[in-house]
Chain A
């Protein structure tokens, strides 16, 4: 269970560059559920994930994960509970280390043992099995360095790394956005399978309305640092990509309602 209560975050406060990135976000995510976050550029989606992962301190608010009040925990401490995959396939892994070594590093997260322990034969076979289970034929490459893999292959390894120790929470930030359409489809399918098998509580940021509609069991739409739509249950199962696009149009229309329009409406409406 993840609980975000009254989260506020302003970057560069009291300067001309002030950005009120999060303006009072409340969100409760039940264990094992998969929430998709959509919203226009700059609406605060990544900032919300970063706030949860502990990239920066909050201005206000409380974060509770599986009963732990993690609000003041540093990022590395939260990393034991939280797995992350970013948009950039080149982030989050050590490029010159082998796939096996990268996976071992991830497995070791939160444990004080050396790398050697993780790379013992038993582990190795286990890792090979897990990589093979993804069905990408990467099991024969686990001794190759990460930087010999394609973007899609890397994202699948990063995903595997993020889920290796079965985190309390998996955060995916546009993790298929930098991939070609075919690889993106492959990775999102893999993501779905992976989340279901491990029953991971997941937040996925995506700009693909198709992904948002077809995967997960809840959709949150963000706008100007707050949640403007929350679609779940039956409503979520019925939602089509076109409905979500219509919601974007609605937001765009509402943004055009500025002071001058409001003044006109004050005298012309009602």
Chain B
């Protein structure tokens, strides 16, 4: 089967010809996914030249319709050949799938927003194109820093004190620690943590195991036991949809955060990003043995026992859920926050720290997204694959690389410097 795509405005027309069998249905599904990823959420399929369709072909059409509708888009088929029309009638799929192209165009203005957006505008910083949706801000976020990353790295004898931190709906966080306060074996199984809107996930000790997670349910609120970490509390008042002006190019996490902060005029920010990954670069702690820590822990091959890092981009075309903090005022930040933050790029004073949870790819619907319900659906319907501490890999021999994104959504909110508290051991 052949697929020819034509676009007019925001409508993508797919002209199919040939035999729509199981083999072609794979091709069709991929083509739909690719189009959705590229931002086409209104798709009309012309079946005039399809001389045969099997159940596999019908299944692919039904699945495509479902996928596009969940993105608040529109999907339909028209102009079926005699054979296809007969099959659609017999299978009673006719009413569901067939649309009159004229009707299809009429829906055009039916844009949906689930969030009360008080303002919407477009902006561009460098080559990052942004569409900004905002609600009036109530108050900046507050931020608590637990433990001290530097102190932990240098301690060789101190007992591993962890801080139990609960993560309800309006909280976001990242750090190093564990979901379980104490594992059954008595040995703490620490890993990288990511917390978003009442969900906390922890990386697995090896890349062949799945991360664990905990979610708010009823009276239960998940707790992260931080060796060190940050918790941000409050509401995001801005959502920035972003993409690169050149669809072939990628946006690094640092670049995105810098652009969003610049656009919003924020000096210290909390952010959550949902993005189609171009490739992530990050490390995972496998386990942490305080007695064995100190400088020599970073020697080869010792480091391989407790830290996992591979200098390759992974997770292309997966969905990343990223949480982080960034600031332009590093020098005036509390010391525990300072040791938590790393330079975001070689030529800027900006520092930050980001963790990512990785999921199988899901297209993001246009315009606004309700972060909380999206994330809860994600955990319910999808399978978390990895949790990473994102790193900017700077080495004299290889230069600089870091995680790269294709497009997505970034929620951003200022952190009130007077409401940053340090909770140390």
Q: How does the 8 Å CB contact mask read for B213-224 relative to A, with 1 for contact and 0 for none?
A: 000000000000
What residue of chain A has the Cβ atom nearest to residue B303's Cβ?
Answer: A262
Q: Is A234 an interface residue (CB 8 A)?
A: no
Question: Once the chains bind, are A260 and B395 in contact (CB under 8 Å)?
Answer: yes
Chain B CB within 10 A, most for which of A247, A258, A260, A269? A269
Cβ of B149: which chain A residues have Cβ within 8 Å of it?
270
A253 at the binding interface (Cβ < 8 Å): yes
Contact A263 B395 (CB under 8 A): yes
Contact across chains for A270 and B392 when beta carbons are under 8 A apart: no
Total count of chain A residues near the partner, CB < 8 A:
21
Query: For the complex, is B89 an interface residue (Cβ under 8 Å from A)?
Result: no
Q: How far is the CA of A257 from the CA of B395 in the complex (A)?
A: 13
Bound-complex Cα distance A254 to B205 (A): 13
> Least Cβ distance of A212 to chain B in Å?
14
A262 and B299 CA atoms in complex are apart in Å by 7
Contact of A262 among B208, B298, B308, B397 (CB under 8 A): B298
Which of B113-121, B259-267, B268-276, B309-317 participates in binding chain A?
B309-317
A261 touches B309 (CB 8 A): yes
Q: Which residues of B contact A243 (CB under 8 A)?
A: 208
Nearest neighbor of A258 in chain B, beta-carbon distance: B300
Chain A residues with CB under 8 Å of B129's CB are none
Bound complex: CA A247 to CA B308 (Å): 13
Is A17 interfacial (CB-CB < 8 Å)?
no
Interchain CB contact under 8 A, B152 and A270: yes
> Residue B345 at the A interface, CB < 8 A?
no
Q: Which residue of A lies closest to B391 (CB)?
A: A268
User: Is the Cβ of B310 less than 8 Å from the Cβ of A268?
Assistant: no
CB distance from A201 to the nearest CB of B (A): 29
Asked if A256 is at the interface of the complex by the 8 Å CB criterion, the answer is yes
In the complex, the answer to whether A247 meets B208 with C-beta atoms within 8 Å is yes
* Interface mask (B191-215 → A, CB under 8 Å = 1, otherwise 0): 0000000000000001110000000
Contact of A246 among B207, B299, B303 (CB under 8 A): B207
Q: Is the CB of B393 within 8 A of A253?
A: no
Cβ-neighbour of B342 out of A246, A261, A268 (below 8 A): A268
Contact indicator per residue, chain B 118-145, by CB within 8 Å of chain A (1) or not (0): 0000000000000000000000000000
Which residues does chain A contribute within 8 Å of B208, judged by CB atoms? 243, 246-247, 249-250
Answer yes or no: B283 CB below 8 A from chain A CBs.
Answer: yes
Q: Which of A59-84 contact B (CB under 8 A)?
A: none
Q: How far is the CA of A81 from the CA of B359 in the complex (A)?
A: 53
Cα A165 to Cα B342 in complex, Å, equals 66
| Cα–Cα distance between A249 and B207 once the two chains are bound (Å) | 9
A269-B283 contact in complex given A243-B208, A256-B310, A263-B395, C-beta closer than 8 Å: yes
Q: Are B389 and A253 in contact (CB under 8 A)?
A: no
Chain B CB within 8 A of A266 CB: yes
Query: Which of B295, B300, B312, B391 counts the most chain A CB atoms within 10 A?
Result: B300
**CB–CB B298/A265 < 8 A:** yes
| A257–B303 touching, CB < 8 Å | yes
- Given the complex of chains A and B, what is the CA–CA distance between A231 and B423 in angstroms? 41
Residues of A within 8 A of B398 (CB): 260
Q: How far is the CA of A243 from the CA of B206 in the complex (A)?
A: 11
> In this complex, what residue of B is CB-closest to A264?
B395
Question: B153 on the interface (CB 8 Å rule)?
Answer: yes
- Inter-chain contact B153/A270, CB cutoff 8 Å: yes
- A197 sits at the interface (CB 8 A): no
- Identify which of A247, A249, A263, A265 contacts B307 (C-beta below 8 A): A265
User: Chain B contacts of A247 at CB under 8 A?
Assistant: 206, 208
Complex-state Cα separation, A167 to B303, whole angstroms: 42
Is B105's CB within 8 Å of the partner chain A? no
A262 close to B152 (CB less than 8 A):
no
Q: How far is the CA of A250 from the CA of B395 in the complex (A)?
A: 22
Q: How many Å from the CB of A38 to the closest CB on chain B?
A: 13
A133 to B304: give the CA distance in the assembly, Å: 49
Measured CA separation A254–B304 after assembly (Å)? 6
Q: Which residues of chain B come closer than 8 Å to A140, judged between CB atoms?
A: none
Cβ distance B5 to chain A, nearest Cβ, rounded Å: 35
- CB B82 to nearest CB in A, in angstroms, measures 46
B394 interfacial contact with A, CB 8 Å: yes
Decide: A269 and B389 in contact? CB cutoff 8 A.
Answer: yes
Distance, CA A264 to CA B397, complexed state (A): 11
Within the complex, the shortest CB–CB distance from A43 to chain B, in Å, comes to 14
Q: CB-CB contacts of B141-179 with A at 8 A, as 1s and 0s?
A: 000000001101100000000000000000000001000
6 closest A-B pairs (Cβ-Cβ)? Answer: A246-B208, A253-B310, A266-B298, A270-B153, A254-B304, A270-B149
9 pairs, CB–CB < 8 Å, chain A vs chain B:
A253-B308, A257-B300, A257-B307, A261-B393, A262-B298, A262-B299, A264-B394, A269-B389, A270-B152
Chain A residues within 8 Å of B, Cβ to Cβ: 243, 246-247, 249-250, 253-254, 256-266, 268-270
Beyond A253-B308, A256-B311, A257-B303, list 15 extra A-B contacts (CB 8 Å).
A246-B207, A250-B308, A254-B304, A256-B310, A257-B304, A260-B396, A261-B309, A261-B395, A263-B395, A264-B393, A265-B309, A266-B298, A268-B394, A269-B283, A270-B150
List B residues at the A interface (Cβ < 8 Å).
149-150, 152-153, 176, 206-208, 283, 295, 298-300, 303-304, 307-312, 342, 389, 391-398
